[in-house]
């Protein structure tokens, strides 16, 4: 092949172009042939593999596949049983927590009831205390009134006693004076 330069004639350039085109077509055809060869080789390998595979090989592979499948199923079963046991433990824990919560709720209700009872008792005590104070004040007033009445009656009695004494003395004095 000749090297193409700017100084070459059209004929040389055209010949070089045609040579390159021919080489390109061969290379393309070779690639297609290579692909066809690869596909045919694969098909031949598959046919050879299929013909070399015996019924015993197929049975052995099926047995291996069955064994592997059974192992996977056993593993899944164990996993499911483990998850089931875990779920049962969680449900038991939930039941325990629910019972504790109900107990706490009962204690809170009892505490609220007790607080209401204590408040009512305080109010009743305060009311009773006020009644007692009122009663005490009334009794003290009554006692003061009785003391006043007593003192008034005592003064009255003393006055009347003194007047009688004076009357008696006066009458005795008149009697004495009369007797003289």
- Say how far residue 111 (Cα) sits from the centre of its chain: 23
Q: Is the pLDDT of residue 110 over 60?
A: yes
- Most confident option among 48-62, 118-132, 148-162: 118-132
Domain boundaries defined on the chain: 1-52, 53-179
Tell me which H or E stretch contains 180.
Answer: none
User: Using a CB cutoff of 8 Å and minimum separation of 24, what contacts does 25-33 make?
Assistant: none
- Most confident option among 5-14, 28-37, 45-54, 97-106: 97-106
Q: Residue 157: left if φ>0, alpha if ψ -120 to 50, beta else—which one?
A: alpha
pTM (predicted TM-score): 0.39
Per-residue model confidence (pLDDT) at position 93: 96
d(CA 48, CA 58): 15
Q: Is the pLDDT of residue 8 over 90?
A: no
**pLDDT confidence bin for 180, thresholds 50/70/90:** low
Average pLDDT of every residue of the chain: 85
Q: Is the pLDDT of residue 36 over 80?
A: no
Q: Read off the pLDDT of residues 49-61 as tens digits, 9 standing for 90 and up.
A: 767 767 787 788 8
**pLDDT confidence bin for 100, thresholds 50/70/90:** very high
Q: Is the pLDDT of residue 39 over 90?
A: no
Helices assigned H by DSSP within the chain = 10-52, 55-179
């Amino acid at each position: 092949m000749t090297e193409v330069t700017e100084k070459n004639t059209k004929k040389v350039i055209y010949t070089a172009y045609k040579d390159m085109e021919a080489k390109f077509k061969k290379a393309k055809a070779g690639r297609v042939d290579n692909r066809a060869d690869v596909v045919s080789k694969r098909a031949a390998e598959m046919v050879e593999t299929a013909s070399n595979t015996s019924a015993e090989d197929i049975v052995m592979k099926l047995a291996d596949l069955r064994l592997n499948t059974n192992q996977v199923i056993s593993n899944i079963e164990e996993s499911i049983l483990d998850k089931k046991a875990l779920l049962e433990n969680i449900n038991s824990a939930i039941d325990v927590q629910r019972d504790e919560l109900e107990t706490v709720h009962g204690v809170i209700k009892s505490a609220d009831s007790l607080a209401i009872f204590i408040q009512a008792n305080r109010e009743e005590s305060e009311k009773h205390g006020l009644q007692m104070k009122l009663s005490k004040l009334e009794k003290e007033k009554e006692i003061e009134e009785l003391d006043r009445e007593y003192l008034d009656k005592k003064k009255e009695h003393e006055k009347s006693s003194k007047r009688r004494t004076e009357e008696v003395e006066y009458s005795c004095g008149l009697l004495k004076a009369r007797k003289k």
